[in-house]
């Protein structure tokens, strides 16, 4: 009889797989609610959309307990310094979602006081279009981050945070084509395959 996990009482896997599985299913968001998008972000955690299904209902208002910053709303230059300070206090590994047109690009606020996209001072992982994006879009962004963690991260790199490494080799996200259903490798995209 073939051995199996249920009869034998054990299974084998890789530490990376277990760690990434646990990490991806227990992201703790830091809600950086700055404007109207924040209302949709609240809906994302409320019972109707119930982000507890993805293990991320525990919004944390201390940077030391959060690993996913959701920037929701336009960012003034004055506020950008505070956001960056919060981000710097979050422990690695950590991720950022730019929620809505304003956080992603400044949106309609083409003026001297508003930063034209929070990627000017944060390493954004996922951008959500819309004004405002629906809570489903925020859940979709969360699932993109989960997939990124499962496919990309390795505990071997945890100790190397801050060290020099090849950004292409170290960060190999799946690239989705515009029609959304085909996944192509970065090598093919960059013409190396
Ligand atoms: S994208 Fe729209 S809903 Fe979101 S903060 Fe900007 S104006 Fe408000």
| 36 CA distance to ligand 1 middle (Å) | 5
Query: Which amino acid residue places its CA nearest to atom 5 of ligand 1?
Result: 73
Distance CA 68, CA 60 (A): 9
What is the C-alpha separation between 66 and 45, in angstroms, rounded?
Answer: 15
Q: What are phi and psi of 32, to 5 degrees?
A: -95, 70
Alpha helices by DSSP H, 46-159? 77-89, 100-105, 135-152, 155-158
Pocket flag, ligand 1, residue 36 (CB < 6 Å): yes
For the segment 69-80, what is each residue's pLDDT rounded down to a tens digit? 999 999 998 899
pLDDT: is 125 or 15 the higher one?
125
Residues counted in the chain: 193
- Which pLDDT tens digit goes with each residue over 81-135? 899 999 999 988 899 999 999 999 999 998 888 988 898 889 999 999 999 999 9
Query: Which atom of ligand 1 lies nearest, measured to the CA of 35?
Result: 5
Which of 32, 99, 101 is the pocket-test mutation for ligand 1 (most atoms within 8 Å of CB)?
Answer: 101
CATH fold group of domain 5-162: Rossmann fold (3.40.50)
- Our answer on whether the CB atom of 129 is closer than 6 Å to any ligand 1 atom is no
Domain ranges of the chain: 5-162, 166-193
Measure 100 CA to ligand 1 centroid, in angstroms: 6
Of these ranges, 4-8, 113-117, 137-141, 151-155, the one predicted with the greatest mean pLDDT is 137-141
Cβ atoms of residues 28 and 60 within 8 Å: yes
């Amino acid at each position: 009889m073939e051995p199996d996990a249920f009869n034998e009482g054990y299974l084998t896997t890789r530490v990376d797989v277990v760690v990434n599985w646990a990490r991806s299913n227990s992201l703790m968001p830091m809600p950086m609610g700055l404007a109207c998008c924040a209302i949709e972000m609240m809906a994302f955690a409320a019972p109707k959309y119930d982000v507890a299904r993805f293990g991320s209902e525990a919004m944390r208002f201390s940077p030391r307990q959060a690993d996913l910053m959701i920037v929701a709303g336009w960012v003034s230059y004055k506020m950008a310094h505070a956001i960056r300070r919060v981000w710097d206090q979050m422990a690695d590994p950590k991720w950022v979602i730019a929620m809505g047109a304003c956080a992603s690009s400044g949106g309609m606020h083409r003026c001297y006081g508003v930063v034209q996209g929070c990627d000017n001072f944060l390493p954004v992982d996922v951008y959500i279009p819309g004004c405002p994006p629906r809570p489903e879009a925020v859940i979709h962004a969360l699932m993109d981050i989960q997939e990124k963690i499962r496919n990309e991260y390795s505990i071997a790199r945890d100790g190397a945070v801050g060290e020099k490494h090849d950004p292409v080799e170290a960060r190999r996200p799946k690239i989705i084509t515009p029609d959304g259903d085909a996944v192509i490798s970065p090598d093919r995209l960059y013409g190396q395959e």
